[in-house]
């Protein structure tokens, strides 16, 4: 067995850091845009008619039952043919957003379904508009309730961003394979990159937990009220 040589990997550390940067940028971009898409999908499903709801369902099922890799290939190889040219990075961001949007909408929908009908009636009796009811009575409590599930989905998406290296995007695993080809120190490269992914995932998890506490400070109080209500 050959001895480990990490020197070659450390020499390329700037490249690795750039990869970390792109992974973070893609993940945060997809989390923000994917959440917006998810809320839009839930809004369409809740506020518009049945046919719009069916369309949303079809989209969600399609995204959830095909691999991210195939979606990425479809976008990266397919879109240029119909005149939409984009770099690998933008194709990656688009694919991640479309994928995460579908998963997140399904999670948020579960939260929306858990809001009791009497809450909506209470909102309406306070003369809130349909949109206000959706935003304050449905969406915010729903988000608060599903935040843990949503957080895990965000972390999974960050990990799945590694698949974007398949279309030569130079995010963390993309730069790993470049360095591996240059140095032939496969195992050393991948062990460093794996540790970096581990650190990224744990940091993201902790940040989302913190963010959840800031965004929804009253969740525990809400849950308590819920528990009392259901016991009656």
Q: Which residues bind another protein (CB under 8 A)?
A: 1-2, 61-62, 64-71, 73-74, 77-78, 81, 155, 159-160, 162-163, 165-166, 173, 176, 186-187, 190-191, 193-194, 197-198, 201-202, 205
H or E element at residue 195: helix 186-215
Q: Please state, in angstroms and rounded to a whole number, the distance separating the CA atoms of residues 189 and 185.
A: 6
State in angstroms the smallest separation of the CB of 155 from another protein: 8
Classify residue 135 by its DSSP letter.
I
Closer residue to another protein in complex, CB, 96/139: 96
State in angstroms the smallest separation of the CB of 10 from another protein: 18
H or E element at residue 152: helix 140-160
Q: Which two tokens stand for residue 70?
A: 């195939």
Using DSSP's 3-state secondary structure scheme, residue 127 falls into: coil
Closer residue to another protein in complex, CB, 144/176: 176
State in angstroms the smallest separation of the CB of 187 from another protein: 5
State in angstroms the smallest separation of the CB of 127 from another protein: 37
CA R_g for the chain: 21
> CB under 8 Å to 131, separation ≥6 — which residues?
47
Closer residue to another protein in complex, CB, 139/158: 158
Closer residue to another protein in complex, CB, 136/187: 187
């Amino acid at each position: 067995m050959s001895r480990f040589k990490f020197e070659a990997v450390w020499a390329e550390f700037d490249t690795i850091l750039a990869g970390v940067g792109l992974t973070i940028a893609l993940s945060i971009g997809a989390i923000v845009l994917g959440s917006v898409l998810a809320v839009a999908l839930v809004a369409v499903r809740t506020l518009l008619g049945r046919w719009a709801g069916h369309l949303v369902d079809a989209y969600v099922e399609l995204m959830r039952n095909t691999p991210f890799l195939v979606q990425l290939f479809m976008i990266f190889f397919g879109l240029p043919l119909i005149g939409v040219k984009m770099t690998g990075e933008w194709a990656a961001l688009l694919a991640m957003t479309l994928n995460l949007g579908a998963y997140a909408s399904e999670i948020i929908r579960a939260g929306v379904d858990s809001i009791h009908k009497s809450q909506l009636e209470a909102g309406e009796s306070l003369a809130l508009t349909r949109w206000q009811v959706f935003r304050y009575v449905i969406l915010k409590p729903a988000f608060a309730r599903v935040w843990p599930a949503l957080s895990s989905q965000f972390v999974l998406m960050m990990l799945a961003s590694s698949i974007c290296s398949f279309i030569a995007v130079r995010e963390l695993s993309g730069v790993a394979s470049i360095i591996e080809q240059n140095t032939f120190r496969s195992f050393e490269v991948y062990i460093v990159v794996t540790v970096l992914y581990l650190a990224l995932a744990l940091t993201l998890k902790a940040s989302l937990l913190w963010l959840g506490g800031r965004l929804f400070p009253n969740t525990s109080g809400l849950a308590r009220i819920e528990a009392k209500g259901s016991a009656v």
